[in-house]
Structure 1
Amino acid sequence: MEADEQLEEEIERTTSGVKIRIAQMAGPAQAQPSYHLPKMFRVGEHIGSEDRRTEFKEGAGFIKNDFRSNVAKYVSAFINCHENGRLFIGVKDNGDVKGYEMNQTLEDKMRRDIDEAIKDITPNIYPKDYSVDFIPVADENEYVSDGNRSVWYSVVICITVLGDRINTKGKLYSTRQGTFMRRDGGVQTLSAQDFHSFYQEKYQTKRTSLERNIQELLDTTREQQKEIEQLKRHQVENATVQGTVASKQTIEEIKTLRSIIESQHKKSKVCSIS
């Protein structure tokens, strides 16, 4: 096993519960791919920057000031932009991990609050289209609590929403507080004019697509009509050729019949003279 993959776990029992010391043998934690969440963060670890797919919230104010509405706002904004987005709670705006202190009872409550917040969004979003992770945060000494319901520990809460899978029909998803759209590093509340522009663009796109499809059908119809006309001409030409051949055959048959009649007439004259 490589040195940077070797972890030494030192279990230290304390009066408040159990703490685990994580000592990595070489270097800081490596940056994780956007689609993969690490099993643990460290205080002060830099995990990236905010963009259309990523939002950081330090924690206290976001959670204490109408947490349910805040979650619904950011989740719906990701969906309206057709983005697979992640909302990290316990991370500073600059992307440095801070962590948020909680115990198991509070974690259970927050999970319920997050589910209720997502239920506030319309149209409906189903559990398979989002996930909630509470990722442990190690302190400066690289300790992370692993206690029971009474022990406080630090976490980063990550809400992942699969916006591009949810919003396949170009709808606008709304919350009780309004309708929101994700912008780089923030969220925009949609006004009446924004709604008008959104649907105007949506239906203009549909109209352009329909017009293109109609034009393709017309072009195909013209090509098929040309093929039909060519088939008709070939049929007429074939009929003409066949008619000419038939006419020649008929003329030859008439000549042959006339010769037979004339021959029989001559024979009848000879018989009458004799």
Structure 2
Amino acid sequence: MGKSSRKRCDVSPQNQASQMTQKRTLYNCFQRQNVWNPNKQICVVRVPKGVEQQRSWRPPAASPQPQRPPVQDHTARHAPAQHIPRVNELDISSCQCLHSGAYIGNETSSIEFKQGTGSYMAKNFSSHFLKYGCAFLNSGGGSLLIGVQDNGVVSGLIFNHEKEDRTRLQVDKMLKDFEPPLLPRNYSLRFLPVITPGNQQPCLKVLCLTFRVSPAIDEPTLYRVGQDHVYVRRNGSVQGPMGASFILEWSRQVWAGKVKQLEQHVCEATSEKSSLAVQLHTIQKTVNQIAADCRIAAAERFSQAAAREEQSDLGSQRSPASCENCRRQTSSQPDLGLGSTPHPELSRV
């Protein structure tokens, strides 16, 4: 009790006034020179020299909440552009140009995509031309597109006039490796221009190589390349080189299909012959009927003419009384000397 009372007695009114003045001074200094650090959440007070620095906790002021960045729709970036038309696989052989970024579709048994970037034209183009060309020719035909990504999106390659001429010479040289030789009707080479926004790269093109099989009326042919290598196209991929067993099986199936096709032609010709025989019988029957009608009509006309002749004959036969009356009428008429004999004197003259 003594210690607590002693402390209370030590606090005089003057000391209390000085302490209040010091607190007020420090408070004013805090109000002018305080700095708020949001990371440490403390108030750092700058005070004049001679005044002890103090730290005091203060409630953080209401700071504005950071705005969240807008959520971007990543699906719109991968969606195909609405203004770029989709190219159908069947239109490849007839289209004249392609749009950059256009979607052609997936690879099938009749179409193959190659991006062709880097040194593709110098290293891989020749081997791919022989391989895919032989496979397409032995599998019903198809197209090899160079300048299209594997996912079917058109990207294009830079083909200037010099590079186009070099590619054409390269293709003409590789055509000699096919057995039997390819005819102009069996293949086509085209450079399809790629339309880019703003014509940034006007030399972008897609190399389109189309291989077509011979017409059905020709003899079935198995194409070979290189050292009698045979390739076929199955399920969107190339298989080969095939062995002798495959060649024999292929020949058996092809000729069996050819025989079946000829048998179908024979059946169609037989049915057509039967229909023509029926038509011929109908025509002959119609002709016979027309001939009979013509004979009946001719007989009727002949009988009518005979009847008219009989009537005219009956009208020409007159009675003797009518003939005597006619003579009397002629004798009663005056003789003008036109029908009598001339006078003897006039005859002398």
TM-score by length of 2: 0.46
**Mean Cα deviation higher: 177-186 or 62-71:** 62-71
**Number of residue equivalences:** 182
Once the two structures are superposed, residues 200-227 of structure 1 have per-residue CA deviations (whole angstroms, 9 ceiling, x without a partner) of: 33345567778x69x99xxxxxxxxxxx
Shift of 1:87: 0.8
User: Equivalents in 1 of 2:211, 2:192: separation in Å?
Assistant: 16
Residues 186, 145 of structure 1: alpha-carbon distance in 2 compared, 3 angstrom cutoff: same
2:231–2:239 CA contact under 8 A, matched in 1: yes
Maintained 8 Å contact 2:107/2:113 = yes
Residue 132 of structure 1 contacts residue 159 of structure 1 at CA under 8 Å; is this kept in 2?
Answer: yes
1:89 pairs with one of 124, 140, 146: 146
Give the residue type in structure 1 aligned to 2:224.
S
Q: 1:120 to 1:159 in 2, by over 3 A?
A: same
Which residue pairs with 2:211 in the alignment? Answer: 161
Matched, 1:72 2:124: no
Deviations along 1:147-173, one digit per CA (max 9) or x if unpaired, are xxxxxx211000112224399422210
Letter in 2 for 1:185: G
* Residues 227-264 of structure 1: per-residue CA shift (max 9 Å, x gap): xxxxxxxxxxxxxxxxxxxxxxxxxxxxxxxxxxxxxx
Are 1:195 and 2:247 counterparts?
A: yes
| CA RMSD in angstroms, aligned pairs only | 3.0
Structure with the higher strand share, 1 or 2: 1
What residue is the counterpart of 1:133 in the other structure? Answer: 190
CA distance in 2, matches of 1:125, 1:180: 16
In the other structure, the counterpart of 1:118 is 175
The alpha-carbon distance between structure 1 residues 115 and 142, as it changes in their structure 2 partners (threshold 3 A), is farther
Which blocks of at least 5 consecutive residues in structure 2 are unaligned? 1-81, 268-349
CA distance in 2, matches of 1:49, 1:197: 30
After superposition, give the CA deviation of every residue in 1:112-152 in whole Å (9 maximum; x if it has no partner): 1122222311101112332111111233x341555xxxxxx
CA pair 170-101 structure 1, distance change in 2 beyond 3 A: same
Kept in 1: contact 2:88–2:105 (CA 8 A)? no
Q: Percent same amino acid at aligned positions?
A: 29
Secondary structure (helix, strand or coil) at the match of 2:85 reads coil
Contact 1:136 1:156 in 2 (8 A): yes
- For 2:261 and 2:195, the matched residues in 1 are separated by 53
Q: Is 1:185 aligned with 2:225?
A: no
Local SS of the residue matching 1:112: helix
CA-CA distance at 1:30 after TM superposition = 4.5
**1:117 match: secondary structure:** helix
Q: Given residue 197 of structure 1, which amino acid in structure 2 is its aligned partner?
A: E
Residues 167 and 194 (structure 1 numbering): CA distance in 2 closer, same or farther, change over 3 Å? farther
Are the counterparts in 1 of residues 89 and 104 from structure 2 also a CA contact under 8 Å? no
Asked whether the 8 Å contact 1:82–1:167 carries over to 2, the reply is no
Q: Which is bigger in relative contact order (C-alpha 8 A, separation at least 6)?
A: 1
2:90 pairs, out of 1, 11, 34, with 34
Which structure has the larger Rg over C-alpha atoms?
A: 2
CA 1:144–1:184: 2 relative to 1, 3 Å: farther
Normalising by structure 1, we get a TM-score of 0.57
